[in-house]
Structure formats: structure tokens, C-alpha cells
Structure 1
Amino acid sequence: MLKILIGMSDTGGGHRSAAESLAAVIKQQRGDSVEVVVADLLSNHTFWPLNQVRHAYAPVVTRAPSLWKLSWWLPEATWRWKLLQRSFLPLLRGPLGGYLRAQHPDLYISVHPLLNHMPLRLLHAAGNYCPAATVVTDLGGGHPTWFCPDIDLITVGSQALYDLGLQRGVPRSRLRLLGLPVNPRFGAPGQDQASLRRALNLAEGRPTALVIGGGEGMGPLAEITRALAQALSAVGGQVAVICGRNEKLRAELAGQDWPLPVVVQGFVRNMSEWMAASDCVVTKAGPGTIIEACIVGRPIMLSDFIEGQETGNVTYVVENGIGAFSREPEEIGRIVRGWLTPGNAGLAAMSLRARAMARPHATTDITNALLNLVNRRTPRRDRRGPVPKKRPLRLT
């Protein structure tokens, strides 16, 4: 049986979502002939403080932006990144190297920027030279550690990331512009909007704004929801809010009195239905959410972005005419009210442009490219000899 290991980490919701989307399509194509393991390698198979990245991500991004900028700056210079690898690799040989040896995959796939260079070295040190691939889940810009020139295949979702890969030394033959992996449900035919609204307890005839805070419910969602409620009451609208894992925020919003219908949800697994039931999406500039909204054809009101990795996403949305950006809740309310005013032809035009930019079959295209790597390999029993206990770790 073919064994595929997908390395990710729960820093935000996008990495797990991408990993699970790829795993689902791989299983659809290969069925019982393949075993797909999705593993949070940073949280479960590294050491302190690396194994705390999952818990530190949201606080650092929101409360310590200078520290986040430092984590972005350190690997930008190749010599600094090599120095970091030399420091961490010996410490990772036991926890992460041991796990990779035990899994012994036929194909390794990374969907996280910190799980490319070092896992590849540890696989090689264990005598496993299986194909390795990176599926970049950023869009308009990306962390420099995404790009390891020795990885067999790197897929990206935009021309900006393709160009960055070339700048980071990735051979053109190993770089593919295929889009971003999203849940297959986003490309599948769905129910009509009225039926979806009934199923989700939304009023059928009201213009609807969907507010999304990502997997962690990040950002000033309460302030944005209040501003939208005030603004959309003038056009008979309604608001749906997805709070993710932020239970405190969900309880706060659910307990308030609103001047119009406001439906509050926690973490959901049917985001495609919520988007299709809405008329526009209000979200921070997460790449996965942007692409999902494009596939469904929903204009995007960006409310925030993470410096560095999401800066280019704002440019992607605004310059392509598929949405707008503002950090001010009142301005967000004003812009969305203009979009949702009955008879506004601009909303339909943005919807058409968003659909035109979408790559609804990207997950399948990426999966085909990944499986082609193992199609060219010999079976597991024909690989190199026994796994050595130790091999020197070499940086290239």
C-alpha cells in the first residue's frame, strides 16, 4: 500500500484545511490502495518552544507584531536560515527524525513553511529518499522558508509566489502554478441560495454579509459586526458571523440585541454553504478564504492582514477588482452597505470577476501532480537498503 505523509501545523486554520482537502482528493482517486497520514509535526514531534507554535501563533500575530516581523526577517538571508537549520537539526533528530523513520512514507508533502528543509534532511538522514513536495498555501506573498530548492515539486497559487520561488533558487522545472487546495465542496454544484438560507436559519429575502474570523476567530469581529448591523439595517440586511474556535467571542455576540437578524456560529465545517448563502464575505486577508470566496463568486471585504505573509493578498483582491480593504469598522459597514443596496450592479460585476480568477479544480490538479511523483518511483520493496541508525545531516 502506498503511504503518503502530509506535514502541517495548526497555526491558523489554513494549513490543516489544505492538508485535509488534499487527503480527501487523494483518497477519492486512489481509495484503499493508499494510506494518507495528516500530522501536526510541529506540535507533536518537535521540542519546546517549537511545539508551542500552535498556541503562540495568534497571540504573537495580534499582540507582538514586532516579534512576528523578526520571525519573518531571520530566514530571509540564506546564511541566517542555514545557521538556524544547523542549530535545530541535531535537536530534531530524535523527536521529528524518529517519527519520520517510523512512518517511512512513499511520498512526503508539506503544507507549512517550516516543514520543508528540515524534514527533507531528516528523511535523507534516515535513508528515505522518497519524493517530497511542498504545496504553498500563501497567495500574494509568502514566507521565504516555503522554498527549498531540493524539494521535487513546489506548487503555488499565484504568479507572485512563482516569481518568489525562482528568486529563492527553485529550479523552474520543479515549480508549478496550479492554484491553492480548497475543500472539494467549493467546486461542487450546490443548493440554490434560498434553500441554503432556510437550512442555515437565515432570512431568505435579506441581503446578507458573512463575517469570518478564521479558525481562531481573530481580529475585531465584534466591532465589525456592530458596524455592519448598524449600516445594513438601512437596507434591510442581515449578518452571519463565524467565530471559529473563539468561544468567548461567540458567546458575546450571541448574547447581544441587534437591530437586524444576526446569526452567530462557532467553528463550522460547511463554510462553502455559508458563503453560497451570503452576498459578500468580510474577512481578514487569509489566502484560503480569499480563494474560496472567488470560487463561490463572492466579493471580498478585507478587514485586516498579517504583515508579511498576507500583505500581498490585499493587493491581489483590490487590484483585481474583486473587493476592498479597510481596517475601520464604520468604513467597512459603509462599503458593504453600498454593495448590498438593492439594484447595485457593481456587486454582480465583482462576483463575475471573482469567479473568473478562481481555479475551482486546483485541488485535483495539485493532487495529480503529487501522485505523478510516486508514479515515477519504484515500489517500496525496491528502495535502498536498511535504514541506518544515524547519518550525518548535510545542509545544501
Structure 2
Amino acid sequence: MISVMLFLIVTLYLSFTSDALSLPATSTTPIPPYTPPTGPPSQDKIPHIIFLSADTGGGHRASALSLNASLTTSPLSTSFTSEIVSIWPGGAWPYRDLVEAYVHLSRHPRQWGFLYHLSNTGPYLCWMNGDTVLRNVKRIRKMDCWRTADIIVSVHPTMTNIPQILSKQPFYTVITDLGSCHATWFSRRCSRMFVASEKLYEKARKRGWVRRSKLVRSGLPIRPVFGEEGERMGERFGEEGKRYREEKKAKLGLKGNGVLFMGGGEGVGMEEYIWGVKRSLEANDIKSQIVVVCGRNKLLHERLSTSTPPPPKRTIIKRILRRPKVESEPEVS
């Protein structure tokens, strides 16, 4: 009975917001359903790896890109082909509108909170798993990428259930979260589940009932370029490291001490905390600056630039709107 009620609530909610969900996602660049493989020609019949992701924030896509980049730059790069795939554009409604729904909800925090907490319950999860299978399995099975996959890696919570039902291939889940972690991540059919913290390890055991033998504590995927940056910096607190960091800060127009805010690819939910920290700095007469990495969230960038109160005398707010090449082309104002 509870599952039926939850189904009706969500269906009615999505019906009322369907116009908003059909708007183009202006703040994201969607991952195509199928992209040409990288690596040697397919006629070599070497293993083909697919990374399942979606443009719902920057973390999932960044993790997929990081894992793919690490493999393609490794000595094993000639031993496989790989691609990054989103299965939902070919799925049933409302799954095919996942990216548009995320953009809409990221601009409406109350709706976001309602759906997040509703979907993070056992009854809803049972309904969603059944619904996604009944209405999407046939569609997904027909996808070319599915027929060519030898190894499957999911970095998105909504792409853990169906793939594990469909695939006989090795399936790996890489959780791109540090602490809170939505219940949809914990599908137990995977070959291995990689978690980023001890807290997630315990949560996977208690809430997901994932066997210890399947859990790997590994941290979050990091793009190779950040490792290269670390090598160029050298010893962080040595003289060369300090000089290198000061040069980088100068290029960004940063001086002295600062507070850094990062909120994923969409910079969701940061504004309240930004102004809270600003008030605290003011109250304690601390001379500092607040650096906000807005990701692709142009709305947040504009609000911090124009529609918010001016910065206090002793606090400077810098806004960084990241371009696709995150490491090298920040736009600072």
C-alpha cells in the first residue's frame, strides 16, 4: 500500500513539472548515448569497457573521465577499447529526461529535497527498481554499446540496477560520494563496489547489505592531470612548493588567506553557506576572501556577481566559472 501511495505521489509530481522537465538543459553538455570507442580497432577483438554516467552534476562525468583517462594513459592502453555512455536517453519517460530534471531541481531546492528524501527510502527503492526494469530492459538491451561491452563500470546511482540484471559481464560500481550516499548506489549484484570513505563502507554494509568481499576502499577517482600538477609542485610545504602555489594563486588573482567553496558541477546548494561564512568573517573582523567554484552553474555565478549584497569591507568574494578544461582555463571575476 505504501509503495502504491509513493508511486502516485511521484507520478503526480512529475506530471505537474513535466513542462519544466522538457526545457533544454542550457547549463550542461549531455553525454551522447553512444560515442566512438577509444583505443585500437575493434577488429582486434580486445576487451571493450563502458563507463555508465550522466550529466547530473559534474562529479559523475568527472569520475568517468578520470577513470577512462587513467586507463588510456596507462601501459595497458593498447589492450582495450573504452567509451563513456548514458543509457537513459534511450529509456522510457521520465528516465530519458534525467538530465533536464536535474537541471530543474537544482534550481528549486525544496523540490530537490522532497524528491531526494522520498526516493531515499526502502519502499520507493523497491518500486523504482521494479519500474525501471519493467519499462526499460528491452530498450537498453537493444543499444549497440550494450552488445559490445565486456566490462561495465557504473559511476551513477541510477545505472546500477538494470545493468546488473542484464549483464553477465564483470560489473563494477564506483561510488562518487564521500558521505551521504543515496540508497540507489547499493545494488548488490556487482562484482566489486568501490567506496571513498570508511563511512560509506559501513553504510554499504548496513544499508545495502553488500558483502565485505565485494567492497573496496579506494577514495575518489582523480584525473591524471591533478597528479601531474602535484609533481610539478613538488613538496607542498617546501620552498619550491610554496613558490609554485603563490604563482598559481597570483594567476587567479588570489591573495592571502581564503575559504574555498566547491559544490559539484552545478554548484548546487552553496549560496546559503557562502553568505553564512561571509557573516561569520565579518563578525570576527577577519580579513579574508571567499573563493566559489561555481562549476557550470551560471545562475549562481550571476547571483554572486549582481543580485547579492556587496561584499563586506574585509571580505572579498571571487567567483570561478569553470570551462570544460577544468585544470587550465578558469574564468575568474
TM-score of the superposition, structure 2-length normalised? Answer: 0.68
Letter in 2 for 1:253: L
Residue 185 (structure 2) aligned to one of 137, 146, 157: 146
Structure 1's unaligned 5+ residue stretches are: 124-128, 275-396
Contact 2:281 2:287 in 1 (8 A): no
Show structure 2 runs of 5+ residues with no match.
1-45, 234-243
Give the Cα separation in 1 of the matches to 2:277 and 2:289. 12
* Structure 1 residue aligned with 2:62: 17
Which secondary structure does the structure 1 equivalent of 2:157 belong to?
A: coil
- After superposition, the Cα gap between the structure-2 partners of 1:103 and 1:198, relative to the gap in structure 1 and judged at 3 Å, is farther
2:308 paired with 1:242: no
| 2:205 is the alignment partner of 1:166 | yes
Mapped partners of 1:144, 1:230: distance in 2: 35
Amino acid at match of 2:85: A
- What aligned pairs does 1:210-225 form with structure 2 within 5 A after superposition? 210-221=260-271, 224-225=274-275
Partner letter of residue 184 of structure 2? T
Instruction: Report the 3-state secondary structure (helix = DSSP H, G, I; strand = E; otherwise coil) of the residue aligned with 2:173.
Output: strand
8 Å contact from structure 1 (residues 222, 253) kept in 2: no
Query: 1:57 Cα deviation (Å)?
Result: 2.8
1:23 shift after superposition: 0.9
Judging changes above 3 Å, is the alpha-carbon distance between structure 1 residues 35 and 212 closer, same or farther for their aligned structure 2 residues?
Answer: same
Residues 116 and 134, structure 1, Cα contact 8 Å, conserved in 2: yes
CA contact (8 A) 2:137 2:162 kept: no
Tell me if the contact between 1:225 and 1:239 (Cα under 8 Å) persists in the aligned partners: no
| 8 Å Cα contact 1:222-1:249 kept in structure 2 | no
Cα distance in 2 for partners of 1:234, 1:200 equals: 24
Query: Residues 208, 82 of structure 1: CA spacing in aligned structure 2 closer, same or farther, 3 A cutoff?
Result: closer
What's the CA shift for 1:49?
0.7
Q: Is the partner of 1:243 in helix, strand or coil?
A: strand
Q: Secondary structure at the match of 1:26?
A: helix
1:155 is paired with a residue whose SS is strand
Task: Compare 114-123 and 235-244 and name the one that shifted more.
Answer: 235-244
Alignment of 1:324-343 (within 5 A): none
Letter in 2 for 1:197: K
CA distance in 1, matches of 2:328, 2:258: 13
Please state if 1:50 is matched with 2:110.
no
Bigger shift: residues 262-271 or 244-253:
262-271
Which deviates more from structure 2 when the two are superposed, residues 104-113 or residues 187-196?
187-196
Hey, what's the Cα distance between the residues in 2 that align with 1:40 and 1:271?
Answer: 21
Q: Is the contact between residue 19 and residue 38 of structure 1 (CA under 8 Å) also seen in structure 2?
A: yes
| 1: CA distance, partners of 2:117 / 2:276 | 31
Secondary structure, in 3 states, of the residue corresponding to 1:14?
A: helix
What CA distance in whole angstroms lies between the structure 2 residues aligned with 1:135 and 1:25?
14
Deviation at 1:151, TM superposition (A): 1.3
Show CA shifts across 1:16-35 (max 9, x none). Answer: 11111111111122223322
**TM-aligned CA deviation for residue 108 of structure 1:** 0.2
Distance in 2 of aligned mates of 1:136 and 1:253: 31
Q: CA deviation at 1:54?
A: 2.1
1:72 is matched with which residue?
Answer: 120
Distance 1:161 1:102, change over 3 A: closer
**1:266 is matched with which residue?**
321
Write out per-residue CA displacement over residues 194-248 of structure 1, whole angstroms, 9 at most, x where no aligned residue: 1111222223xx2122233321122252772586288369443223222222223
Partner of 1:177: 217
| Residue identity matched to 1:36 | S
Letter in 2 for 1:189: E
Report what 1:209 is aligned to. Answer: 259
Amino acid at match of 2:48: K
Query: 1:134 Cα deviation (Å)?
Result: 0.7
Residue aligned with 1:189, SS: helix
Q: 1:243/1:84 Cα in 2 relative to 1: closer, same or farther (>3 Å)? A: closer
Cα offset, 1:68, TM superposition: 2.0
1:195 maps onto 2:247 in alignment: yes
- In structure 2, relative to structure 1, the CA distance for the partners of 1:10 and 1:136 (3 Å cut) is same
> How far apart, CA to CA, are the structure 1 residues paired with 2:55 and 2:144?
19
Q: Which has the higher contact order (CA 8 A, sep 6+)?
A: 1
Name 1:155's counterpart in structure 2.
194
Find the counterpart in structure 2 of residue 37 from structure 1.
Answer: 83
User: Partner of 1:134 in structure 2?
Assistant: 173
CA contact under 8 A between 2:50 and 2:145: conserved in structure 1?
A: no
Aligned to 1:231, which of 276, 281, 284? 281
The 2-side partners of 1:31 and 1:106 are apart by 15
CA distance in 1, matches of 2:265, 2:325: 13
Say which SS state the counterpart of residue 176 (structure 1) adopts: strand
Aligned to 1:92: 136
| Cross-structure match for 1:283 | none
Aligned equivalents of 2:194, 2:277: Cα separation in 1 = 39
SS at match of 1:93: helix
Secondary structure of the 1:181 match is coil
Give the fraction of aligned pairs with identical amino acids, expressed as a percent.
27
What displacement does 1:138 show? 2.1
Q: Over aligned residue pairs, what C-alpha RMSD do you find?
A: 3.1
Residue 58 of structure 1: how far off its partner (Å): 5.3
